[in-house]
Chains A and B, each alone.
Chain A
Amino acid sequence: MGALLHHLRLAREFARVGVIRKSQFRVEFLTQVVMDTAWYLVHIATFEILFAHTDSIAGWTQSEVRVFLGFLFLSDAFWMIWLGQCWHFGRELKDGVLDSLRLRPGAPVFVYFFQRFSLEACINGAMALGWLLYALADVPGALGIAGIAKLVWALALAFWARTALSVLFTIAEFRAVNSDLSNLAWEVSMTLADRPMDVFPLRMRQLLTSLIPVAGLSTLPAALVLGRISPFEGLLHSAWIFALGLGVFAWWRRSFRHYASALG
């Protein structure tokens, strides 16, 4: 409990520094909000155009895909708010500038990945939440007490999966320094996460639900809230992704032990 409070205090400090930093980059604040809005609009427009020609895509109706997109946007906003630093990991590892993590003011995974708080992404998060609630308004019972409980569960799953994947991909950089592999893996998996997993063949779906749980970002949370999977099935997926995340964090910590300042 003490460790949790300590890390929450660290997160608060990261948020404070993030807000101060953003006050120096006001135009970037605005452009980042606009950029993410454009990203949302492009995704929405793409599916709306496709649904003008069909009733369902791999069993997902238009209103279900809107919910799916809501989770995609919200989990992306979470990533932008807290985990943006992972994009720089390969370069920082090569340059040997991770020494401060050795001081361990907290768990290295937490201190590294959560250090770059983005205030503008909070605005996008609010927009994404607005879209999700709009989409859920079409789903019977989704905004009742049980529905809200499931929504909170689904969001926790999406955020945990984002964090686990962010950390997982950076491990490749320990093995192949300056390879840009983590960013490549991230780009590929985000491209896959942009569509409901049911469009993919069975084996690929299994891979993206288990070992590289890209489905945890948006497909599984949306399926859980929409009742496409039962709560029991959702529980099994959540337990697996939670355990996988813990394993990934331990693997990252072990990999980090080999880090030396002059690695590059």
Chain B
Amino acid sequence: MSSLLRDLRLLGIAFVYELRKVTAWRAGFVVRELMRSMWRPLVMIFVYRAMLLEPDARLGGYDFPGLVGYLILAASFEKLLFHQRGLDLADQIFQGYVTKYLTMPVRFFVLALARFVQHIAVQGFVLAVLWILGWLLLPQWWPQPHSAAAALSALTLVLLGSYCAFLVCFVVNVLAFWLDVIWTLSAMASFVFSFAAGVLVPVSIMPEWLAGTLRWMFPYWAVSAPVELFLGRLDPSALSHGVAVLLAWIVALELVRELAWRRGLGRHVGAGV
């Protein structure tokens, strides 16, 4: 119990420092945090516009305003998902200065977890501002939640999905104990995640064999499913299915994280790779 309290206290302190660090430089904050994950959905709006020129044209059950709403929501939810830039653990391992954290009487993972909490806090604030502006300036395009429960269900799935993404980032970073450079793996994970999550193309309009496979993966439940729950296109009972899939992924990823970290430390000599 006392170690849990100590971890929580450390998490609070580390969170405040992470927050101060990320907001210290305003131009960088705007470039890196505010605009992140906005461009591709924006470009995709033009693609869908070109495909759905006729007023009654539809794409897999979506009309053009429906797809705009989907993309706005997908971009918003993607902002809440933890991303590789949020962790520099691989650099610390590669250059050997992760050692200084290991000599402290704290669990290293709590420091990384503070990055996750900071990410959710910052992006949550950015999203709140964005959504207020969207509702005020573009009310005809901005998506409305099907119900308060639908919005809450969507948010629950996104937060669980974001934790899955954080664990994947951590594991990929820990691979630096074995590999020299992991940025390629990070980038690859990002492409595949984005596609599997249905950030640009709703999973529900993909071929059934592909959509069926993606429904077992956590990215789908982190973006595409929450969007469709929010819009009322997915039955509310899907929430329990989604939570079950995400929790199973979290358990599996936690085990992998623990194993990889322990094995990696076993190889670490504190002098960089």
Provide the residues of chain B in CB contact with A188, threshold 8 Å: 39
Contact-residue size bin, chain A (C-beta under 8 Å from the other chain):
35 or more
A25 at the interface (CB under 8 A from B): yes
B152 at the interface (CB under 8 A from A): no
From A25, A31, A38, A199, B50 is in contact (CB under 8 Å) with: A199
A49–B201 contact, CB under 8 A? Answer: yes
B247 at the interface (CB under 8 A from A): no
B206 at the interface (CB under 8 A from A): yes
Task: Tell which of A7-15, A162-170, A189-197, A218-226 binds the partner.
Answer: A189-197
Provide the residues of chain B in CB contact with A54, threshold 8 Å: 51, 59
A57–B50 contact, CB under 8 A? Answer: yes
A191-B195 contact, Cβ under 8 Å, with A35-B185, A54-B51: no
Provide the residues of chain A in CB contact with B32, threshold 8 Å: 180
Least CB distance from B63 to A in Å reads 13
Provide the residues of chain A in CB contact with B59, threshold 8 Å: 53-54
In Å, the complex CA distance between A177 and B181 comes to 27
Task: Tell which of A39-47, A92-100, A127-135, A229-237 binds the partner.
Answer: A39-47
A195-B43 contact, Cβ under 8 Å, with A46-B200, A49-B206, A53-B60: yes
B28–A191 contact, CB under 8 A? Answer: no
A49–B180 contact, CB under 8 A? Answer: no
B184 at the interface (CB under 8 A from A): yes
Task: Tell which of B115-123, B186-194, B255-263 binds the partner.
Answer: B186-194
From B28, B191, B205, A49 is in contact (CB under 8 Å) with: B205
Provide the residues of chain B in CB contact with A49, threshold 8 Å: 201, 205-207
Provide the residues of chain A in CB contact with B187, threshold 8 Å: 35, 39
Least CB distance from A56 to B in Å reads 8
B46 at the interface (CB under 8 A from A): yes
A57–B47 contact, CB under 8 A? Answer: yes
B40–A42 contact, CB under 8 A? Answer: no
B195–A45 contact, CB under 8 A? Answer: yes
Q: Is the interface of B mostly helix, strand, loop or mixed?
A: helix
In Å, the complex CA distance between A188 and B42 comes to 11
Provide the residues of chain B in CB contact with A38, threshold 8 Å: 188, 191-192
A42-B179 contact, Cβ under 8 Å, with A195-B46, A195-B47: no
B233 at the interface (CB under 8 A from A): no
A31–B179 contact, CB under 8 A? Answer: yes
Q: How many residues of B contact A (CB 8 A)?
A: 32
B27 at the interface (CB under 8 A from A): yes
Provide the residues of chain A in CB contact with B188, threshold 8 Å: 31, 34-35, 38-39
B35 at the interface (CB under 8 A from A): yes
From B47, B185, B195, B205, A199 is in contact (CB under 8 Å) with: B47
A32 at the interface (CB under 8 A from B): yes
A191-B39 contact, Cβ under 8 Å, with A39-B191, A50-B201, A198-B50: yes
A27 at the interface (CB under 8 A from B): yes
Closest to B203 in A: A49
A262 at the interface (CB under 8 A from B): no
29 contacts between A and B (CB under 8 A): A25-B180, A25-B181, A27-B179, A28-B184, A31-B184, A32-B184, A34-B184, A34-B188, A42-B195, A45-B195, A46-B200, A49-B201, A49-B207, A50-B47, A50-B51, A53-B205, A57-B47, A176-B27, A179-B27, A179-B28, A180-B28, A180-B31, A181-B31, A184-B35, A187-B39, A191-B39, A195-B46, A199-B49, A201-B46
B residues contacting A by CB (< 8 A) are: 27-28, 31-32, 35, 39-40, 43, 46-47, 49-51, 59-60, 179-182, 184-185, 187-188, 191-192, 194-195, 200-201, 205-207
A residues contacting B by CB (< 8 A) are: 24-25, 27-28, 31-32, 34-35, 38-39, 42, 45-46, 49-50, 52-54, 57-58, 176, 179-181, 184, 187-188, 191-192, 194-195, 198-201
